[in-house]
Amino acid sequence: MITYESRLRLYSCDTCLFKIISCQFVQKAEFEKLQNRSTQLRFRRGESILKQNATATHLVFLQKGIVKFSVEDEGEKTQILTITKAPSLIGGVNIFNQGINMFSVFAVEDSECCLIEVPILKEIALSNPDYMMKLLEIISGMFKISILNFISLAHKQVNGKVADVIIYLSKAIYQNKIINLSLSRKELAEFAGCSTENLIHTLTKFHKEGILEVSGKKIEIKDFERLEKISKVG
């Protein structure tokens, strides 16, 4: 449970992207209401930021780090919906799901977040339609990524799935052909929608074929063109 007895600020709100966006639509006094009902927290790798099926009490602005969105089914099988890095607004979809978290969010690496109370955010957003529309735009953009990921993976074989995941991580998260992974092999498999064994087998195959160079947590894309071709043919 979040308390407000100690409001340690991990970073300045003046440089926060959420404040910059918000203050384009709301008055300074209104933003200060949000700021006064928020708290900044550190989450270590593997810690839960939002828990599936729990009450959606906070919207989360990820200031630093990388997180994963995951869903656990009744058989306790986990699927990673998407992975995102800071700066990012997360958990917004939960607010419009009858106040219940549709998914969990876990820190993939040490992260810093600002947790904003939902009631005060709703109050201010409802009185500022343009601000509400901007928040919905950001929230729907994140949800769109998850949907497109599911559609893509549903129609592909393991080779295509693994290629998709490596390309996504390279372009969207690490922005480099050399990926120093924060994810385990199990997490990569959950993101690709395949078994850990199939993921490892495919990475080994790509390594032998000179498409990737895989060494522990480090994956280097040696032939991006071939990897993209595998992604397209699925």
User: pLDDT of 13-58, one tens digit each?
Assistant: 777 888 888 999 999 899 998 888 888 999 999 999 999 999 888 8
Residue ranges in 155-223 assigned as alpha helix (H): 158-168, 185-192, 196-208
Shortest CA distance to 121 belongs to which of 195, 26, 202?
26
How high is the pLDDT of residue 3? 41
* 175 and 124 fall within a common domain: no
Domain limit, last residue, from 108, 123, 152: 152
- Rounded distance, CA 83 to CA 169, Å? 8
* 25 and 95 fall within a common domain: yes
Domain limit, last residue, from 101, 130, 152: 152
Give the pLDDT confidence of 150-194 residue by residue, as tens digits.
777 777 899 999 999 999 999 999 999 999 999 999 999 999 999
* 160 and 147 fall within a common domain: no
Mean pLDDT (whole number) for 79-88 = 91
* 162 and 227 fall within a common domain: yes
Query: Given a cut of 60, is residue 198 above it in pLDDT?
Result: yes
How high is the pLDDT of residue 4? 40
* 100 and 19 fall within a common domain: yes
- Domain assignment present for 211: yes
Q: What CATH number is associated with residue 180?
A: 1.10.10.10
C-alpha distances (whole Å) from 98 to each of 16, 48, 50, 58 are 29, 21, 15, 13
* 62 and 160 fall within a common domain: no
Mean pLDDT is lowest, of 66-70, 115-119, 146-150, 200-204, for 146-150
pTM given for the model: 0.86
Query: Given a cut of 90, is residue 208 above it in pLDDT?
Result: yes
Helices 129-154, 118-126: axis angle to 10 degrees equals 120
Phi, psi of 183 (to 5 degrees): -95, 150
* 27 and 135 fall within a common domain: yes
Which residue would you say has higher pLDDT here, 204 or 132?
204
Residues 6+ apart with CB under 8 A from 204: 214
- Domain assignment present for 4: no
The three-class DSSP label of residue 7 is: coil
* 38 and 85 fall within a common domain: yes
* 72 and 173 fall within a common domain: no
How high is the pLDDT of residue 7? 52
Range of the domain at 116: 13-152
* 161 and 120 fall within a common domain: no
Mean pLDDT (whole number) for 88-117 = 85
- For the chain, what is the mean pLDDT? 88
How high is the pLDDT of residue 8? 58
